[in-house]
Amino acid sequence: MAASGRTAHPEVIWARPERAARGPRPAHTRAEIAAAAVRVADAEGPEGVSMRRVAAETGCGTMSLYNYVPRKEDLYELMVDAVSAEYDLSAAPSGDWRADTLALAGQTRALMHRHPWLPRLMSPAHGFSPNALRYLEHFLWVLEPLDVEGGTKMELISMVNGVVSTYVVNELSEAERARTSPFPPGQEHAARMAHLARELSGGAYPRLAGVLGAGFAAVDLDAQFERALGRLLDGFAPGRAGGCQSASASSVTLKENRSPR
């Protein structure tokens, strides 16, 4: 009979004890492995995260990883949880749920800038990792002054995270493409733009040509981010009187670079 650790049955990795009751002491820890995987992903992108590569980075044999992580997908879950520990949730809510929410979204954005693989590796199913629970609990605390149903609050959290994710993916898409592209940096983007210009000049898309022709340049990304989120939150504020401009720039900048190493 095979060892019981190999008998496959559905299991949440967080329900599994780090150390088994019987055998020898494991040579590594989950946190160590997660950190190694995060290091690889930060340096080489999500496609660099292979079991072999992470095992090498951890300093153990490839197949030994499977003692800690039953499937690769669980490694992703470990990674997402590991970087989620970077949230600074030490401050109690200010009472202004809108400002606090914008600050949380700003932290998420900063987190995704530090770990650009995060949006791709994150999945709705990861919602129950320890740090995700911590985050959710804090977010609900922030939303306590908001007088809507609990389900609506969860909806708000989901929407905010979705918009942040969308926004950051858009922000980083060109850089990511440049990183992945086998061609000299910029060439691919130039080719795309040339094609777009050719298409637009045909006159088949007059409105699009008008909008894009007006020029994108010199947009303040931070301000745009705040505006987009602010609009979303406006939709949730029940009977809010004129507070829409309250997005104070101080709370949501990318300046906060506390990365525990």
Q: Which residues bind DNA (CB under 7 A)?
A: 1-6, 8, 19-28, 49-53, 60-64, 66-68, 71-73
208 binding its own copies? (CB under 8 A): yes
Whether the CB-CB separation of 111 and 87 falls below 8 Å is answered with yes
Mask: binding to its own copies, 5-44, rule CB under 8 A, as x and -? ---xxxxx-xx-----------------------------
Whether the CB-CB separation of 229 and 256 falls below 8 Å is answered with no
Site for its own copies in 167-186 (CB under 8 A): 167, 169-170, 173, 177, 181-183
Shortest CB 36 distance to its own copies, Å: 25
Shortest CB 180 distance to DNA, Å: 10
Region binding its own copies by CB under 8 A among candidate stretches 24-32, 48-56, 84-92, 199-207: 199-207
Q: Which is nearer to DNA, 33 or 164 (CB)?
A: 33
- Round to whole Å and give the CA distance between 260 and 35: 11
Site for its own copies in 110-169 (CB under 8 A): 123-125, 128, 133-134, 136-137, 140-141, 144, 150-151, 153-155, 158-159, 161-163, 165-167, 169
- Round to whole Å and give the CA distance between 160 and 104: 10
Whether the CB-CB separation of 18 and 30 falls below 8 Å is answered with yes
- Round to whole Å and give the CA distance between 144 and 156: 13
53 binds, among DNA, its own copies, none (CB under 5 to 8 A by kind): DNA
